[in-house]
Every structure is written in structure tokens, then in C-alpha cells.
Amino acid sequence: MKKIYLIFWFTGVLVFALGSISLAQTACDGVRYIENSFTSTTKATVKYGENTTIGGSEKDLLVDVYEPEGDATAMRPLVILAFGGSFIAGSRGDLQDECEYYARKGYVAASIDYRLFDIIAFPDSLGMMDVVVKAVADMKAAVRFFRKDAATSNQFRIDPNNIFVGGQSAGAIAAAHAAYVTDLNEAPDYLATSMTNNGGIEGDTDDPTDSALGYSSEVQGVINLFGALHRKEFIEADDPPIISIHGTDDNIVPYGFGYATVFSVPIVSMEGSRSMSNQADSVGICNHMITVPGAGHGTFLGDPFWADSIYYTSAQFMESIVCENNFCSPLTTVNQLDVSRQVVAFPNPSAGGMTIAFNGLNETYEAFVTDNAGRLIQHYANQNTDRLALASKDFSPGFYHLYIRFNDATIAPVVKKLVFVE
């Protein structure tokens, strides 16, 4: 991807911009953007564009903008998020919790509308590709909208040099393509044709009463929650960094290479988060990959074992870019001891109760058991026994996942699959 730079034509504007960037940097104190710096947020809903859906309807595209309440910082980094739903369902309100999470840390967070597959027909691969292209155009228009706002009315006090995009599932697919497909020559013919028919590489989404065409849609990073790219080779050596979170047993958007499905029907080949991370490694792009063993499509989001670390790490990822002059530093890690072989579940499968044995481990821990959909079934807090009994009355027949987290951060968490039978 070739870098695009905003050109300021007047000296006064340039001086103002440089002064504002300096003010933005003073907010980097090692706490803001990582820890909660604000207790409440505000929300405004504005129109960022309009366009025609795949079904031929004219659609106004809105964005919910969440800001930290009481924040006086002159320029703030922005993260634009898009909801999931296989490009056939979902709404911008689905990401309210995530936006409020980031806003409390000092970011401005935005959740956008984008066009969906709105015709009564089952999508084939070309139809699905076309709606993805439309969603990508909408995402790029949202970036341009905020960049224009920063250069004109400055309503949201956005730092135009620190705009991130991301989302969940379909929204993450749209965000990744918006960030990494920057040249029609990179795309296979059928994708390039769809993009050409939808306004070219930038798309034709805009608000004609307040146009932002001509502003850059470049982003500084991608937050990819169980999304994918149609081709991993879209990621090139000078592209923005990415953080990815994906379950290994995802049967909707593949963890590696596979087919994205709609209602269990394979539709189009995709390169999931594992393939994207490997490609980023191969071309030297800073990236961070969180793999959730045994998890399905986003089933871990409601799991307290994973949720906080996922969003906390993504906030840390963005902070490393915002506060280190766009240098994506390695995230803090600890060399952890693998004790998974010392933790044994028996009998497994079980028709009654089950015991978790901590052979030779005298450590305090907490354990979570979730069902196969990621819902929390049991939480065992502040345990220090070498035997944890799981009562049969608490578990219906089925598959479960056991997560064990130790108080000692030098010990790696343990993940086990449990099976209860009749």
C-alpha cells in the first residue's frame, strides 16, 4: 500500500496542525489509552454518507460517535468499528459496549452503518463479493468523513494521523479490505470489476451535501475480531499493523484458509486471522495474534476469561502506535511456564461428576467453564486446592471448555475440552 499524505496549502494551517499534534502527544502518559481514564461517555449520531444498496434502495449511512465525557484533549485517536452479521444482518448499535470501552480509555470510538445484502435471495459468491465491496466503500467514506471534520469544523477533535478501523466478523472483513486493498491491480479480475462498478478503489459513498471526497482513507492500524481477507497477499510490506483475535474452531469465518459460510453453506474462499498474521510476519508488518483454542465464531466474547484481555490488548496495541510516533512496539509479554500436562481432567468424558487434578502445583487459581457457545456455566474463584470437583448436577450432556488462570502471571493459562454424556 502506498502511503497517502495530506498536503496543507497554507502556512497557517500547517502551524495549527503541528501545534495540535504536539498537544495530542502530551496525552500519552502511559495510562491514557490503556487504562480507564474517564468514567462516562457521550454519544452523537451523525450522517457520514449515502449510497444505493444491492437491492436498489437509497440508504442514509449514520455513525454513532462516542467520546470520553469531560475530555479537554485537543486531538484524540479514533477507532471506527463495524458490526458483524454475515453482511445480511446487524446494526451499529450492536457495538455500543465496545465503543464505550474505548471511549473510557480516551479514544473517540465510532460505530458505523454499512450496506447489507438486502434482497430476498440466497447470496452466491459474486453477490457476496459485491456487498463486501459496498461495505468497504462505506468504511472508507467514514474515514474520509472524520478526516474532513478534523480539517474543517473539528467537531470531534480527531487526530487525522491516528485513525484505526476494525470490527467483528463481517465488519472486520470490511475493515481489513478497506485497509489492505489499495490498488485495483492487486485484486483478481472479478473483484476488480466489482470495485470498478462501485466507484473504484475509494468507492463512491459520500454525503453530497457535505462531500469528503478527496480526503485520504488511509488508516494507521486494524482491529480484526474473527475477520478475514479474500487474499492474504493483499497485505504488503508498507501496510498498517494489525491485531487479530480468532477461535480455532470457527465454522463461519475460517481461522486459516477456508470458506466463509452463510447458514452453513460455503460461499467464498477467505484467509482468516491465522493466515493474515502469517502473511504480516512474512512481509515484516507489526501484528499481534490472539488465538482462542477450541472456540467457535466469536463465542469467546462473553467469556470473562478472554473478553478483558482481548479488548485491553487491542487498546494497548493502538496506544503503542499513537504514543510512539506510529512505531508499533512489541506488546509486553511474559515468558510463561506451560503446566498443561500437569492439569488433568478425569474421567473425561464423564457420565457423572468430573475432577480436575493439579498434579504437583500448589498455586492459587480461578477456573471458568463455558458451554460450546461460549456462555459461562461455572466460575470457581480464588481456588488453592489440588483437586477441583465439577458436580454432575451443574452440567447437561454436551461439550464444554475449561479455562484456568493462575494468580502467578509466570504460569500460562490452561485450556481443556470437557465432555459430559448421559
Give the global pTM: 0.75
Residue 1 belongs to some domain of the structure? no
Whether residues 415 and 270 fall in one domain: no
Whether residues 90 and 229 fall in one domain: yes
The domain spanning residue 396 has which CATH number?
2.60.40.1220
Give me the pLDDT at residue 202, please: 95
Number of domains in the chain: 2
Give me the pLDDT at residue 172, please: 98
Whether residues 312 and 360 fall in one domain: no
Residue 332 belongs to some domain of the structure? no
Residue 331 belongs to some domain of the structure? no
Range of the domain at 52: 11-322
SS3 category, 175: helix
Of 322, 353, 370, which marks where a domain is finished? Answer: 322
Whether residues 305 and 350 fall in one domain: no
How buried is 100 (Cβ within 10 angstroms: 0-12 exposed, 13-18 middle, 19+ buried)? middle
Whether residues 306 and 363 fall in one domain: no
Distances (CA, A) of 46 to 111, 145, 156, 379: 11, 10, 11, 41
Whether residues 283 and 410 fall in one domain: no
Residue 5 belongs to some domain of the structure? no
CB 380 within 8 A of CB 367: yes
Distances (CA, A) of 308 to 98, 180, 265, 311, 334: 11, 27, 32, 5, 17
Whether residues 303 and 361 fall in one domain: no
The domain spanning residue 132 has which CATH number?
3.40.50.1820
Q: Tens of pLDDT along the chain (422 residues)? A: 433 333 333 333 333 333 344 334 448 888 899 888 999 999 999 999 999 999 999 999 999 999 999 999 999 999 999 999 999 999 999 999 999 999 999 999 999 999 999 888 777 778 888 999 999 999 999 999 999 999 999 999 999 999 999 999 999 999 999 999 998 888 888 889 999 999 999 999 999 999 999 999 999 999 999 999 999 999 999 999 999 999 999 999 999 999 999 888 888 899 999 999 999 999 999 898 888 888 899 988 877 667 766 888 899 899 999 998 556 665 655 556 888 889 999 999 999 999 999 998 889 998 888 877 667 788 898 999 999 999 989 999 998 888 888 888 778 778 888 999 98
CB 405 within 8 A of CB 413: yes
Whether residues 271 and 354 fall in one domain: no
The one-letter code for the residue type at 127 is G
Residue 243 belongs to some domain of the structure? yes
Residue 222 belongs to some domain of the structure? yes
Whether residues 354 and 307 fall in one domain: no
**Furthest CA-CA distance within the chain:** 76
Q: What is the pLDDT of residues 361-416, one digit of tens each?
A: 889 998 888 877 667 788 898 999 999 999 989 999 998 888 888 888 778 778 88
Q: Which three cell numbers stand for residue 104?
A: 473510557
* Among 192, 198, 181, residue whose Cα is nearest residue 137: 198
The number of beta carbons lying within 10 Å of the beta carbon of residue 207 is 20
Whether residues 286 and 354 fall in one domain: no
Of 322, 350, 379, which marks where a domain is finished? Answer: 322
Residue 281 belongs to some domain of the structure? yes
Of 291, 322, 353, which marks where a domain is finished? Answer: 322
**Long-range contact list for 231-236, CB < 8 A, 24+ apart?**
231/188, 231/271, 232/271, 232/275, 232/276, 232/278, 232/279, 233/186, 233/279, 234/177, 234/180, 234/181, 234/186, 235/180, 235/276, 235/279, 235/280, 235/283, 235/285, 236/1, 236/180, 236/283
Whether residues 279 and 308 fall in one domain: yes
Whether residues 305 and 347 fall in one domain: no
Residue 115 belongs to some domain of the structure? yes
